[in-house]
């Protein structure tokens, strides 16, 4: 058999490794391609890179463009490759987009969201109402909003935070103003039944007179008002989003400090409880779990009772040592009969037994009294209720444990350290 060997000139090997180095300084950029995008187009990636077709480009210039894309925050990964032909460069970016969050404007009550969004698009044409957690585009949006406010006669610092939004059940990229003062003067609901509800009236002083903030309003609606709907069986009530309705001539706007809030809402249908069906449960009977729900067929479907039911089910399993049980309820609405039912899947996990009590931050005399007060013995089923009652005693009724011994601590750190292989759990108490 004959073998054939190939010899390549050194210059050709250098060309394969660094095509652009054939040219003393730069080559013409002929084409920009991109792949890996989910929402952006090739043209948008090219624009964000800062490169233009026909410009002179060097190897460093290509790397700088890739770094620029990364710094925007819009891309988690950016790689590139390039080819040269006849003194021209074809460039391809390989990108992976970063997760993006909805943008909210927390305390800009004098402007509609659409005005603020339009101002942002003036500097960031690809803005779609979402932004990454950080990056130069987030700073660009903040600076654009500050310039917009300055143009309207309002000087304020614009800051941004990633926050959990209680109504959206997700995190948001929130922009806030600092250095301005405005308060919530009133709050009005479109549902007159809700507006006249005694419980609602009792909650309104919690928000009237508070500094205006969309987040403050959202938390108020989620924690103080929505439960009132849920308790009455209005499980699918629509509440918000809140609106600001300023009166007066907008051309003479002097940025009023009293901000009235208007909340669109509708209770929807009133639901009654139908049933719960259970699967995956072996240690606890379905009848016991149904009783834990606390509702009988035909009862008004109290949403707060239902939400608390899943915690009560977890507590029932914790009482039996199933510390890692998972409860997954799936709701089903019958919109003709106005009833609600749940199919609940239980993943019981392993039953744990108590192994050891580990105490830190306490004197030897105090530790001895703690161990005397602890009732579970090694090998016994780890009853989580015993653990929680013991914590309450240490935090609120310490005299029942220490019997006159002077002890000094402010908090009790506590953990359950499980060993899934052995099915044991250590109780850790740290006194500070």
Q: What's the DSSP call for residue 212?
A: P
Count the neighbouring beta carbons within 10 Å of the beta carbon of residue 349. Answer: 16
Q: Which of 354, 356, 360 is nearest to 429 (CA)?
A: 360
Q: Torsion-angle region of residue 383: left (phi > 0), alpha (psi -120 to 50) or beta?
A: beta
- CA distances for 45 relative to 33, 59, 117, 121, 217, angstroms: 8, 18, 21, 16, 38
Label residues 27-50 b or e (16+ Cβ within 10 Å = b): bebbebebeebeebeeeebbebbe
What CATH class does 353-431 carry? alpha beta
What residue spans define the domains of the chain? 10-97, 101-266, 272-347, 353-431
In this prediction, residue 154 carries a pLDDT of 85
Fold of 10-97: Ubiquitin-like (UB roll) (3.10.20)
Fold of 272-347: Ubiquitin-like (UB roll) (3.10.20)
Q: What is the pLDDT along the chain (432 residues), one digit of tens a residue?
A: 333 333 334 333 333 344 444 444 678 999 999 999 999 999 999 999 999 999 999 989 999 999 999 999 999 999 999 998 888 999 999 999 999 999 999 999 999 999 999 999 999 999 999 999 999 999 999 999 999 999 988 888 999 999 887 666 789 999 999 988 889 999 999 999 998 999 999 999 999 999 999 989 999 999 999 999 999 999 999 998 899 988 655 555 567 889 999 999 999 999 999 999 999 999 999 999 999 999 999 999 999 999 999 999 999 999 999 999 999 999 999 999 999 999 999 999 999 999 999 999 999 999 999 999 999 999 999 999 999 999 999 999 999 999 989 999 999 999 999 999 999 999 999 999
Task: Please indicate whether the domains covering 10-97 and 353-431 agree at the CATH topology level.
Answer: yes
In this prediction, residue 25 carries a pLDDT of 65
Residue pLDDT, tens place only, 261-311: 999 999 999 999 999 999 999 999 999 999 999 999 999 999 999 999 999
Q: Which of 12, 44, 13, 49 is nearest to 29 (CA)?
A: 49
């Amino acid at each position: 058999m004959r073998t054939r060997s190939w010899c390549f000139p050194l210059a050709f090997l250098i060309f394969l490794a660094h095509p652009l180095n054939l040219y003393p300084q730069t080559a013409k950029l002929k084409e920009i391609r991109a792949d890996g995008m989910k929402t952006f187009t090739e043209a948008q990636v090219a624009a964000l890179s800062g490169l233009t077709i026909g410009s002179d480009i060097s190897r460093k210039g290509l790397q700088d463009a890739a770094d620029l894309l990364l710094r925007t925050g819009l891309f988690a990964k950016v790689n590139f490759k390039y080819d040269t032909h006849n003194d021209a460069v074809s460039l391809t970016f390989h990108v992976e987009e970063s997760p993006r969050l909805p943008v909210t404007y927390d305390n800009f009550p004098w402007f509609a969201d659409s005005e603020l969004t339009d101002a942002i698009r003036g500097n960031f044409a690809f803005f779609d109402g979402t932004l990454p957690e950080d990056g130069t585009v987030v700073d660009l949006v903040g600076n654009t909003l500050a310039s917009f406010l300055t143009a309207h006669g309002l000087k304020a610092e614009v800051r941004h935070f990633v926050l959990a939004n209680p109504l959206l059940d997700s995190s948001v990229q929130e922009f806030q103003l600092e250095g301005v003062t405005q308060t919530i003067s009133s709050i009005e609901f479109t549902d007159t039944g809700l507006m006249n509800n005694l419980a609602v009236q009792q909650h309104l002083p919690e928000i009237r007179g508070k500094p205006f903030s969309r987040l403050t309003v959202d938390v108020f609606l989620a924690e103080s008002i929505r439960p009132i709907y849920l308790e009455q069986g209005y499980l699918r009530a629509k509440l918000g989003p809140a609106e600001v309705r300023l009166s007066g001539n907008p051309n003479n706007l002097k940025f009023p400090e009293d901000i009235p809030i208007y909340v669109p809402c509708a209770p929807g249908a009133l639901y009654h409880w139908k049933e719960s069906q259970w699967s995956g449960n072996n240690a606890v009977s379905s009848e016991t779990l149904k009783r834990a729900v606390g509702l009988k067929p035909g009862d008004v479907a109290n949403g707060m009772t239902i939400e608390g039911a899943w915690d009560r089910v977890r507590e029932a399993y914790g009482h039996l040592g199933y510390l890692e049980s998972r409860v997954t309820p799936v709701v089903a609405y019958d919109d003709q009969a106005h009833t609600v039912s749940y199919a609940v899947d239980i993943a019981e996990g392993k039953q744990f037994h108590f192994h050891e009590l580990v105490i830190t931050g306490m004197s030897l005399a105090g530790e001895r009294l703690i161990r005397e007060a602890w009732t579970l013995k090694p090998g016994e089923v780890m009853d989580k209720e015993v653990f929680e009652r013991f914590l309450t005693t240490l935090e609120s009724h310490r005299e029942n444990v220490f019997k006159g011994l002077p002890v000094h601590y402010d908090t009790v750190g506590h953990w359950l350290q499980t060993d899934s292989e052995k099915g044991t759990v250590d109780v850790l108490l740290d006194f500070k």
